[in-house]
Structure 1
Amino acid sequence: MNSEMPIWTGFLSPVLEVMKDGSVYARSEIYELAANHVGLTAEQKLEMLGSGGARYKNRIGWAINYLRKVHALSRPSRGNYVATPGGQLLNQNLPHIRTEAHVEKFLAEVGVQGLTPSTDRSSYSTPAQPDSVPASQASELDPYEQVQTGVERIHTDVADDLLNRLHQNKPDFFEQTVVDLVVAMGYAGADGVAARTQLTNDGGIDGVIDQDALGLNRVYIQAKRYALDSTVSRPDIQGFVGALHGVQADRGLFITTAKYSGGATTYAESVNTRVILIDGPRLANLMIRYGVGVQIQQTINIVKLDEDYFE
């Protein structure tokens, strides 16, 4: 039995091992199965984070999220997971995963969608026993950098979840979310008004922001909830510019869950009408930054010595 609790990467192999039969497991089941697989004691299971959550669940949770990110696990429904064929291959070939690089090297050479190993397993040799690595040795980053990196990773995961949820909801929900975001960013001004246009007769414009009480300064919005892997092309932007000309507007925001083609970006930069393009990743980051669709789970104060106090 390990004397120390494994760091989160130390739970990658245990999670895959307990899910290797291809059955669907609830997240709560995976916590306990993986914890028992590595032999966590009752005392270790009682270890808590500063936020109040169980430390082992937090670490196993990171392992689950990472394995899903690299397509070793899939989520058929909320809170339920299953090992993909790629995840089963990973478990068969790399029984003692130590690092993310270890996983990504294997998946890159095998191919996430490919199911036949094309490399020599000896190149992935690992120690015979998956001994725990002390958390203090888990990273060469200093503590502050580790905090920053942790926050960035959390934001990346939340950003992915935001885009998925936006895509799962109805178009009018997405349009309202975009209006809420622009207001949260301060573009409505102190006395401004923001609203969605009528769905049946919007003329290519989904929202209007009056930046002053009289509506003398307006920003027009088009919000398109497209598939996350799709591309907004030049004709889409041309249509929006035409809609802006129709209301004699000189500026507009085109916001989508997808990405933009090079032609769309070049066109937006070349027209006299000021058109700002916001793609899916930027949209999600702005929602996090301005608190739209997210909640603050925990606030951490980082302190340093006050040299002035000791003078």
Structure 2
Amino acid sequence: MPIPDYQTLMLPVLRLAAEGETRVPHVADKLADELDLTEAEREELLPSGRQRILHNRIHWAKFYMSKAGLIDCPTRGKFIASETGKALLSTQPPAIDVETLKTYPAFVDFYSKSGSGSGPTETSAAKAAATSDITPEEQIDAAYGVLHAALKADLLQRILAQSPAFFERVIVELLVSMGYGGSHDQAALQLGKSGDGGVDGVIDEDRLGLDRIYVQAKRYVAHVGVGRPEIQGFVGSLVGLGANKGVFVTTSSFSSPAIEYARHLPQRVILIDGERLAELMVEYGVGVRVSRTVAVKRLDEDFFIDE
């Protein structure tokens, strides 16, 4: 079954906390068993890759309930149901969510200040937290994912609108940024100068030129894919040149037969489709720049240890 959202987890987390002091990992193990989660679901990470989704949602369930006074945190990393929390459980509520927490003055005070601190009215940040089933980290990751996907689409659209020579410069810039070709000038001199009909260029694999990589580039629109015959032609050129390493780059995609053919070649041929090309450009800062940096800070628990 899918991992429940953090509001759905509030009631079972409070019930486990009512049994005595506990920790998020222990609660996660217990709930995973109760929910019959698969091993993959138990280990599933946030898009950022920094925390398990189940642990993150339990943390935020615990955090919000602590702001309502339902949970106490007596020592580092541990939490337990408060008397107020136990009193709520005694009423056998069918569920606990943000609307339930808003019946507690302590949470209302926290809720009204969780945005810009402008007063008792609901702020946009507080509304987002209350109306969403995903945690704040998941909201950040989701927003980042949307922006990242839009950026990649924009990159490919801009490349298609430029000249073939510009596409060649993009590949030079990317390969040099990835550590190939030595310098921009050296890479630019070699790329596009092979003269072979099936190869667009050759670039040094390292600064000393101990080995070379042959490059083929196809600036195709999205609906025009690269098929097996084109890969076969490229491989034929590699064989004629006595080369065993090649990179085939396209702004579109590769057909399944093309991918399968490249997978079983004796030569090392890497296929980079438009999706991967845009991903690498973002990763290595080619054609993009940082527009905004958001630093998410956490409490430094070690700072508060009184030795």
TM-score, normalisation: structure 1:
0.53
Superposition deviation, residue 246 in structure 1: 2.2
Relative to 1, partners in 2 of residues 1:139 and 1:187: Cα closer, same or farther, differing over 3 Å?
farther
Q: Which residue of 2 aligns with 1:281?
A: 275
Which residue of 132, 135, 151 corresponds with 2:128? 135
Q: Per the alignment, in what secondary structure is the counterpart of residue 187 of structure 2?
A: strand
Q: Which residue of 1 aligns with 2:253?
A: 259
Q: Which residue of 2 aligns with 1:159?
A: 152
The one-letter code of the counterpart of 1:212 is D
Contact 2:179–2:206 (Cα < 8 Å) also in 1: no
For structure 1, the residue ranges without an aligned partner over 5 or more in a row are: 1-131
Larger Rg: 2
TM-score, normalisation: structure 2:
0.54
Q: Per the alignment, in what secondary structure is the counterpart of residue 275 of structure 1?
A: strand
The sequence identity of aligned pairs, in percent, is: 48
Count of residue pairs the alignment pairs up: 180
Superposition deviation, residue 136 in structure 1: 3.0
Name the Cα RMSD after superposition: 2.5
Superposition deviation, residue 138 in structure 1: 4.3
Contact 1:192–1:209 (Cα < 8 Å) also in 2: no
Relative to 1, partners in 2 of residues 1:187 and 1:139: Cα closer, same or farther, differing over 3 Å?
farther
Relative to 1, partners in 2 of residues 1:227 and 1:199: Cα closer, same or farther, differing over 3 Å?
farther
Q: Which residue of 1 aligns with 2:209?
A: 215
- What is the alpha-carbon distance in structure 2 between the residues aligned to residue 213 and residue 200 of structure 1? 19
- What is the alpha-carbon distance in structure 1 between the residues aligned to residue 278 and residue 221 of structure 2? 14
Superposition deviation, residue 193 in structure 1: 4.2
Q: Which residue of 1 aligns with 2:239?
A: 245
Contact 1:254–1:278 (Cα < 8 Å) also in 2: yes
More strand by share: 1
The one-letter code of the counterpart of 1:176 is R
Q: Which residue of 2 aligns with 1:298?
A: 292
Instruction: Write the mapping of 1:108-123 to structure 2, written as runs, cut at 5 A.
Output: none
Contact 2:191–2:203 (Cα < 8 Å) also in 1: no
The one-letter code of the counterpart of 2:303 is Y
Contact 1:175–1:206 (Cα < 8 Å) also in 2: no
Q: Which residue of 1 aligns with 2:178?
A: 185
Contact 2:194–2:202 (Cα < 8 Å) also in 1: no
Which residue of 143, 146, 149 corresponds with 2:142? 149
Superposition deviation, residue 200 in structure 1: 8.9
Instruction: Write the mapping of 1:52-201 to structure 2, written as runs, cut at 5 A.
Output: 134-188=127-181, 193-195=186-188, 196-198=190-192, 201=195
Relative to 1, partners in 2 of residues 1:200 and 1:182: Cα closer, same or farther, differing over 3 Å?
closer
For structure 2, the residue ranges without an aligned partner over 5 or more in a row are: 1-123
